[in-house]
Chains A and B, each alone.
Chain A
Amino acid sequence: MVHGTLQIVVFVAILIAAAYPLSRYMARVYTDDDFLRRGRLRFLGSVERGFHRIVGDRAAREMTWKVYATTLLVFSFVFVFVVYAIQRLQAHLFLNPQHFPAVPSFISLNTAASFLTNTNWQYYAGESTMSFLSQMAALAVQNFVSAAVGMAVMVAVFRGFIRRSSGELGNFWRDLYRSLVYILLPIATIGAVILIAAGVPQTFHHYAQVTTVQGGHQTIARGPVASQVAIKHLGTNGGGFYNSNSAVPFESPGSFGGYFELFLELLIPFSSVFMFGRMIGKMRNALAIFAAMFTLFAVGVGINYVAEQHGSSVLRNSGVNITQGHGQTGGNMADKEVRYGIAETAVFATGTTMTSTGAVIAGHDAMTPAGGAVPLVNIFLGEIIFGGVGSGMYGIIFIIVLAVFVAGLMVGRTPEYLGKKIEAREVKIAALGALFPGTLALTLTAAAMVTHAGLASIYNPGPHGFTEALYAYTSQVGNNGSAMAGYGATSFSAYMGTIDMLFGRFVPLLAALALGGSLALKKQVPASAGTFRTDGPTFSVLVVGMILLTAGLMVLPALTLGPIVEGLMH
C-alpha cells in the first residue's frame, strides 16, 4: 500500500503544480477585455468579434442576471433539440458506417438531457447504438458546450462579489465563447494528441473484423475516439465512446491512461478555485476553500483505497489469493482492470464522482460496501467538493454563504463575505441551491421504490438494489453520470432520469445567477475588527462542517438503508 499511496500523492502534487499557473491564464481570459486585441494573435480577437456579430450581440453589452439567465436558457433549449434530432435521424445521415438505426425516442431524450446538463449518464451503449455522427456532432459538441456554460455561470457569480452597486454579471456570449475557444479547445486538442500517441483510436473507418489466433471472430469497435475522450474528461462530462467507458483500453490505454484522464478532469476544477482567489484579489480566501475541498477528497480516496484493497467478503471467503504482492495487486479486482490495480482506481473513482464527471475506469457496482459508499457520498454531496467544471465553484458558493450565515449568527453580527452583506435573500437562494438536488434525488428514489416500474429497474437483490436506485437518481441530479451500471434498463428510469438531470442542473444554476445578481447590487463594506475571517483554517473547518451538515444529514438515513445494511449483513 506504500507504493500505491505514493503514486496518489505524486499525482496530486503534479496536478496542483499545473492547476495553479493555469488559473492565472484563466483569470486573464475572463477579466481582460482587451484579451487578444493586440499582438500577433489579434486575428483571434477578430474571430471573437465575428462571433458576437453573427449571434446578434455586436455590442457585447453587460447583462443583468435575468438577461444572462434567459439567454443561457434559450441557447440550451435550442441545443437540446438539435442533440435529440441528430440521434433520431442518424440512420438517414452520414458517418454511420455500422448502419445503426435511429436511437429510440426515450433513449434520445434521456441522452440529450444528459449531455446538455453535463451529466453524461449513459443510458445507451455507445459502440452499439450511436453512429459516428451522433457521437461527434451531438454528444461531443455538448461535452464542450455544457462545460463552457458551467464556466460562464461560475465567472458571472464571481463577478457578483467583485462588482459594486451594479447588478451586472458580464456578457453570456463572451463568457461562453472565451471558455470554449481560449480554454477548453486548446487543452482538449493537446489532450487528444497525447491520447492518440498513447494508443487511442481516431478514425472514420468501420469497425475492424478480425479472425483471432484460435480462429474465432472478433469485431473491434473503433472510431473518432480520442477527440471525444479528451474533452469528455476536460469538461468533466464523462460520457464514453464505449459502454465500459475509460475502463476500455481503447479509451484509456496503459497505466498512463487512467492518471492522464483524471488529470484532465481535475485540472479546471482545481484551477477554478485558485482563479476565484485571483479574481477577488484575495488568494488566502480561495486557499481556505481549497483546503476544505481537498480534505474531503483525501479522506474519500483513503477510505476507498483501504476498503478495496481489503476486498469484499465474497472474495475473502472464496479462498483465492487477494493479498497484494508477488506479481499481483490483490484486493477487490471484480470489475477492475489489471493495469490500474487498486490505487489508481481508488483515486480515479473518488475524483470522477467528486467532480461529477462520471467517467469510470472500473465498475462501481462491484465495489465493496465501504469502498462503494465513497462515490455514493461524493455524488450526494453534489457539485461542491471541486465539482464539475464551473458548476463546482458555484455549488460551493451556496455552502459558503450558508457557512458565513451560521458564523454570523454565532458572533452576533450581520454576516458578510468578501465585503458583501449576506442577507435574507441570499441565504434563501443559497439554501435552495444547496438543498434542492438532494431533495429531488430522494423523492425520485422513493418513487422508484414504491412503483412496479421502479422496482423492475433494479438489478442486484437486497439492499444493494436500493443503493443502485439511490445512486442513479443522486448521480443524475448532481449531473454526475457515474452509475452502478446494473440499474435502469427501463423506460421508466429513462424518463425519471431526464427530469432529474434537467432540474438538477438548471435549478441550482439559476439560483447561482440570482445570487450573483443580488450580490452585485450591493455595496462593498470595509472589513472591521468584528468581521468574521474567511481566509484561515477556521473557515475551512466551518465549510467542511457545513458540507457535512447540509448534504451529509440528507444522505445518512438513505445510506442506512443501502450500504450500511449491506455491510452489516455480511
Chain B
Amino acid sequence: MARVVGGSVVAVVVMTLFFGLAYPVVLTGFASVTFPSHAQGSLIHKDGKAVGSSLAAQQFTGKLYFHERPSATSPAYNAAGTTFANLGPTNPALAKLVSQNAQAILKLEGPYNPGLTIHDIPVDAVTTSASGIDPDISPAYAQLQAHRIAAVRHLPLATVQKLISQNTDGRWLGFFGEPGVNVLKLNLALDKLGGK
C-alpha cells in the first residue's frame, strides 16, 4: 500500500507539472508567435488604442450607433463576468423583460421605420444572449436599425446596408451555423465613413 501511495504522489506531481504547466506554456509560446492577435483576445485598435474585442459585445447607446443584443451580465456586456439570464421559459420576469425591450426598440426605431410594429422585431433583439457578450446581432435586427443609422448620419440607406453585409460573418464554410452581424466592427466602419 505504501508503494501505491508513493507512486501516486509521484504520478500526481509529474502530471501536474506536465499537463498543468508544460502543456499550456508550450501552447502559449506557439500562440504568441503564430497568432499574436488571437492570443491576446482579438483586440481591436483605433488610433493605437484598444477599443474592444471583435469577440465581445460592448455597450452602445443613443441614436448614432447600432445596438447590441440585451445582456444579463452586471454591468451589461461584462467581458470578465459572463452569464446567462437563466429566466425559465414560463417565468413572468421573462415576459416583462421581453416586453420592456420591445417597447424600447419601438420607441427608438419607430420614427425611422414608419408602420413598425412589435411583429417586426426579430426575437434576438429582445432576448439576452447566452454569454452576455454575444458580438453578433441577426441580419434582420441590423436591417431594422439601418434606417435609423442612415437618417441620423445622413447616409444613403444602401451605403449602410453595404456596411452591414461587409461586417456580416456568414455561416462557417457557408453551411454550418447562422450568419451574424458583428456590431462593434460595423460601428467602427460607420465611424470611419464619417457622416455624423
Contact = CB atoms under 8 A, between A and B. Distances in A.
Contacts of B62: 214
Interface in B125-169: 125-143, 169
A70 B58 contact: no
Contacts of B51: 210-213
B151 to A, nearest CB: 19
B178 A55 contact: no
B108 interface: no
A90 B67 CA distance: 39
Interface in B66-96: 69, 72, 77-91, 94-95
Interface stretch (A32-40, A324-332, A500-508, A539-547): A324-332
A318 B27 contact: no
Contacts of B50: 208, 210-211
Contacts of A185: 19, 23
Contacts of B142: 327
Interface centre among B12, B77, B98, B169 (most CB of A within 10 A): B12
Interface string A300-331: 00000000000111110111111000111111
Contacts of A48: none
B38 interface: yes
B193 interface: no
Contacts of A145: 15, 19
Interface string A358-370: 0011110111110
B6 interface: yes
Residues of B contacting A: mostly: mixed
B49 interface: yes
A399 B61 CA distance: 56
A163 interface: no
A219 B78 CA distance: 7
A337 B136 contact: yes
A220 B79 contact: yes
B14 interface: yes
Contact of A338 (B3, B80, B84, B136): B136
Interface in A141-197: 141, 144-145, 173, 176, 180, 185, 189, 192-193, 196-197
Interface residues of B, number: 109
Contacts of A70: 1, 4
A428 B84 CA distance: 43
Contacts of A2: none
Contacts of A361: 130
Contact of A208 (B16, B53, B141): B53
A464 B86 CA distance: 11
B31 A569 contact: no
Given A128-B80, A144-B15, A218 B30 contact: no
B83 A201 contact: no
A224 interface: yes
Interface in A245-301: 247-250, 253-256, 258-259
A82 B23 CA distance: 18
Nearest to A362: B130
Nearest to B120: A321
Given A243-B82, A314-B94, A320 B121 contact: yes
A391 B140 CA distance: 44
Interface centre among A210, A214, A315 (most CB of B within 10 A): A210
A453 B178 CA distance: 42
A462 interface: yes
Given A255-B171, A338-B137, 17 more contacts: A202-B27, A213-B60, A213-B184, A218-B78, A227-B23, A250-B56, A314-B89, A315-B98, A317-B95, A326-B140, A329-B124, A329-B178, A334-B89, A372-B89, A460-B87, A462-B90, A484-B86
